[in-house]
Amino acid sequence: MNIVQYSRAMTTDRTLITGASSGIGEAFARVLAARGDDLVLVARSAGKLEALAAELTARHNVRVDVVPADLSLPDATDGIVAELTARGIAIGTLVNNAGFGNGEFATLDAARQRDEVFVNVVAPVVLTRALLPSMIERGRGAIVNVGSTASFQPVPYMATYGATKAFVLSFSEALAEEVRAHGVRVVALCPGQTETAFFTGMDEARSPGRARTSEQVVATALRALERGRVVAIDGFANYVLANASRFSPRWLVARIAARMFRPTPSR
């Protein structure tokens, strides 16, 4: 696809949110619609997206397009960009929120881990690459990449997940510097334990800190965008823990994390 043709065909800026059918992605959609932003919602569940779009349109009088997509598929991002082009939609803000992960590396299905890398790493990179040039051309734009407090440390028993989130942090920090002079802002949003389906079934006794709400996480991201911050760690306790890991030996951080996340033997 010719990027120049894509950007010039667009007429209005919207916010595109991946993983918008639940959790932090849904919270982004609700908060941004309430302030009057027009949206494009992306997730696998077309039914949930359509219901959310109808609700937000009726309640806030905003335009909401739905683009169902499974980001674990290699050509998913191409399909999203093709839909945006066909509908004449420009993206002014991109929220790369979709992600998942859990499980011990040696026992977790290999295909599942491949999908995890596609959703957490490949999809954000390819989607950002597709949409960023038009932001640069217009001299404005914002990208929020949802990382994790896991971005700052190795996470035994969630090894692939932790590695993908470390990538998100490094990618975001580097990209933010590349595009700073072009009027495009980049934020790596790093939540800890949050009240979403991601943590369903996780032993709270082994999860540090108190769970934050999705709305609190979104507020942290929006403050960071307004203040020009690149890394946004949600919650004071998470901020302390994430920074403490930087000043500790990596082997010790991994050992402590292993004790926290080691699966409890079934009785």
Instruction: Please list the active-site residues.
Output: 161
Which residues, 6+ apart, have CB-to-CB distance to 256 below 8 Å?
none
Structure-token pair, residue 211: 């769970």
Please tell me the distance from the alpha carbon of residue 56 to that of residue 66, in angstroms, as a whole number. Answer: 12
Identify the three-state secondary structure at position 55.
helix
- Displacement of CA 211 from its chain's centroid (Å): 18
Please tell me the distance from the alpha carbon of residue 103 to that of residue 67, in angstroms, as a whole number. Answer: 29
Structure-token pair, residue 205: 């006794």
Please tell me the distance from the alpha carbon of residue 236 to that of residue 216, in angstroms, as a whole number. Answer: 12
DSSP class of 265: P
Strand pairing class (39-43; 64-68): parallel
- Displacement of CA 47 from its chain's centroid (Å): 21
CB 238 within 8 A of CB 192: yes
Tell me which residue of 207, 72, 66, 230 sits closest to 150, measured CA to CA.
Answer: 207
Residues paired with 56 in a beta bridge = none
